Structure 1
Amino acid sequence: MHSSPPLPQVSWLSPRTLGLTLALVSALAFGGSGTAAKPLIEAGLSPLHVVWLRVTGAAVVLLPLAYKHRDAVRRRPRLMVGFGLLAVAGVQACYFASISRIPVGVALLIEYLGPLLLLGYLKFVQRKPVSRAATIGAGVAVTGLACVVEVWHGLAFDALGVLFGLGAACCQVGYFLLADAGRQGDRPVDPMAISAYGLLIGALALTVFTRPWTADWSVLGGDVVMNGRVLPATLAAGWMVLIATVLAYLTGVVSVQFLSPAVAAVVANLEAVVATVAAWFLLGERLGGWQLVGGALVLIGAFTAQTSRPAEPGPEPADAADLAAPVGLAQLAESVALAEPVALPEPVALREPTDPPAERSAAGGHRG
């Protein structure tokens, strides 16, 4: 078995500390995406087109990195396709389908059940030991998220909306499992390659789903308003692309190489807290008592999860890339690799979200 490609090392940081630092940077970067996206949405772009701009812009920025690691596609094609379809395009498609039918707060909470689903998959499907600290931390973090989004204000049951939300959660699970799978097996690939090709493939898939040629892109040539301050639209777009996507994905995927997927997933729950706090400071949106309580619970959950110690590795599968994604998701990636295209659903059946939080969170504040 070949060893994984060498990862950057910092002499005065342990690998675990470096992984936690990168995971926190990723959460901070992802969490600020909604704050940058909202002024663009208010200026006239639809949330779907803002997401397309975010992912496609990041894919273009990372094209040199993709070219540098072009051999990764030949060595692990299913891993690259799976990450692009699940961790990038799948999260976005399912999330927007969900918020078109159920309140945004409920959709976000369902999506962030991902860490709990991940723990269940690791324990019951891959038969790997899961620490009590990680399980408790995930439960506390999800409880905190329910407070952050004040889920009780928008309780409504729509079976299809809930299913789409669960689909987003499963795709989030795929993000962490596939990021971890890159270092395993006899054909390891650089995590930078996973990010670059994942965004590139995700951008191609989202192009079919969002139909960007219907958008009024002249908005980017003007100004936008952020909490009473006038800013160039390109500044908001640049932050969303470079910080909330390029930096967020690169640091997030690399962090999984130093941490277990379970710990990295729980730390990622901080994104929702960052999104709420950023909206408070930069957009002037009210932060209530429940948000403060929920944020504290998420922090406690993330701290509890990161105190867990890595489990002893079990027998390694013949090809971790084939076993990394949850049941059903791995088959999706494999079918694409075998030239059996998987078409993303056209959003013809979606209706625009009507609850106030949708505008704040639709294009950001969540992974992908």
Structure 2
Amino acid sequence: MFRVSRRNFLIGTTLAIIAAIMWGFSGVTVSMLFKLNSAMTPLWVSQVRMIAAGLIMLGLAAIRREHPFRVWRDGKSAIQLVGYAVFGLIPVQYCYFKTVEYGNAPIATILQFLGPFVITLYLFSFKRQLPTRAETIGLLLAFFGTLLIVTHGHFNQLAIPPLVLFWGLLSAVGVATHSMMPQKLLPKFGVLSVTGWGMLIGGNVLNLFNPFWTRPVTLTFRDVRLLLVTVLVGTVLAFILFSTSLTFILPTTASLLDAFEPLSATLFAVLLVHTHLGQMDLIGGAVIIVAVIVVTMNFKALFQRMRKQHINQIDH
């Protein structure tokens, strides 16, 4: 049960906002890596980031006595964990970095922000769950915002490279699968253990295609610093802060605050790498953020119903 108080709300919202800003900042640091070192590729960065972050998270899980190896004793859970790593974490990491490579961090983050609408479309297509009025409005707004970004108002031509749109939409699908697939694993085995193993498995699956240690990459001190920021700040610390925020505020509130991610990515990209965003990019991004807020706010009633059902199950 949540202890509703002004202090808890302030702590939770602060942690969630800082985590979102860190995610946005890490997208810009990856963009800087691609520009400063031509040997850096989305595949290489994804492999290093996922393996390093996975090992750190599993270490923290062991320190917190979450018993990280417990998940492998359950065959069904182990299969779900591998599926989460391959179809959830790899797309949300690798496809996002490919979007950054072909475009820039703000556009990549905005397109990835379409993930909630992929979930809505999935529920409608495969679960026959009709979208609510708020979700329908959000879908229309998101479609319009995306259209502005990819066409800049000239609806007969693309204003961004097709590869940016392709990888960006795949990263949005990754957000959806990343959100849905571990729902049964997280409460049973702990967020650090599940995400840590997912990261470690995903990074090693990517190694099957082209191991990162077989490619000569010369790292300068600057490159190492940017990688550390990406792994420690943009992955491990951001994840821990966001997960901690959920002990003080509802997931619906935390999801709303995730809007700070594209905002911070845009701000840092303009300040640090002098990325130029057109007027239509800014308007389209704002429309998508509003669309996500509209949809996320509608989840509050659903969450409350789920919590009541959980309490009733415990009582019975």
Q: Structure 2 length as normaliser, TM-score?
A: 0.71
Q: Deviations over 1:190-239 (max 9, x none)?
A: 222222121111121122234212333431xx24xxxxxxxx33221111
Q: Which residue of 2 aligns with 1:355?
A: none
- Where do 1:175-186 residues align within 5 Å? 175-182=178-185
- Structure 2 CA distance for partners of 1:234 and 1:291, relative to 1, 3 Å: same
- In 2, Cα distance between equivalents of 1:30 and 1:210: 26
- Structure 2 CA distance for partners of 1:33 and 1:211, relative to 1, 3 Å: same
Q: Which residue of 1 aligns with 2:28?
A: 35
Shift of 1:118: 0.2
Q: Deviations over 1:293-318 (max 9, x none)?
A: 2343233223323432332349x9xx
Q: Structure 1 length as normaliser, TM-score?
A: 0.62
Q: Which residue of 1 aligns with 2:47?
A: 52
- In 1, Cα distance between equivalents of 2:132 and 2:254: 14
Q: Is the 8 A contact 2:20 2:238 kept in 1?
A: yes
Shift of 1:81: 1.6
Shift of 1:106: 9.0
Q: Deviations over 1:303-335 (max 9, x none)?
A: 323432332349x9xxxxxxxxxxxxxxxxxxx
> Aligned pair 1:132/2:146, yes or no?
no
Letter in 2 for 1:55: M
- In 2, Cα distance between equivalents of 1:40 and 1:98: 14
Q: Is the 8 A contact 1:90 1:171 kept in 2?
A: yes
Q: Is the 8 A contact 2:24 2:261 kept in 1?
A: yes
> Aligned pair 1:300/2:301, yes or no?
no
Secondary structure of the equivalent of 1:180?
A: coil
The size of the alignment, in residue pairs, is 290
Secondary structure of the equivalent of 2:301?
A: coil
- Structure 2 CA distance for partners of 1:108 and 1:139, relative to 1, 3 Å: farther
Secondary structure of the equivalent of 2:208?
A: helix
- Where do 1:167-206 residues align within 5 Å? 167-182=170-185, 188-206=188-206
> Aligned pair 1:79/2:80, yes or no?
yes
Letter in 1 for 2:71: A
Q: Is the 8 A contact 2:110 2:285 kept in 1?
A: no
Q: Which residue of 2 aligns with 1:207?
A: 207
Q: Which residue of 1 aligns with 2:301?
A: 310
Q: Which residue of 2 aligns with 1:65?
A: 60
Deviation larger for 290-299 or 200-209: 290-299
Q: Deviations over 1:127-159 (max 9, x none)?
A: 55754334433543454355456673136499x
User: Unmatched 5+ residue regions in structure 2?
Assistant: 153-157, 310-316
- Structure 2 CA distance for partners of 1:46 and 1:155, relative to 1, 3 Å: closer
Q: Which residue of 1 aligns with 2:155?
A: none
Secondary structure of the equivalent of 2:276?
A: coil
Q: 1:282 aligns with which of 263, 272, 275?
A: 272
- In 2, Cα distance between equivalents of 1:296 and 1:157: 22
Deviation larger for 120-129 or 169-178: 120-129
- Structure 2 CA distance for partners of 1:292 and 1:169, relative to 1, 3 Å: closer
Shift of 1:266: 7.4
Q: Deviations over 1:93-120 (max 9, x none)?
A: 55677899x8779987765543222012
User: Unmatched 5+ residue regions in structure 1?
Assistant: 1-5, 224-231, 317-368
- In 1, Cα distance between equivalents of 2:237 and 2:149: 25
- Structure 2 CA distance for partners of 1:271 and 1:183, relative to 1, 3 Å: same
Percent of matched pairs sharing the same residue: 25
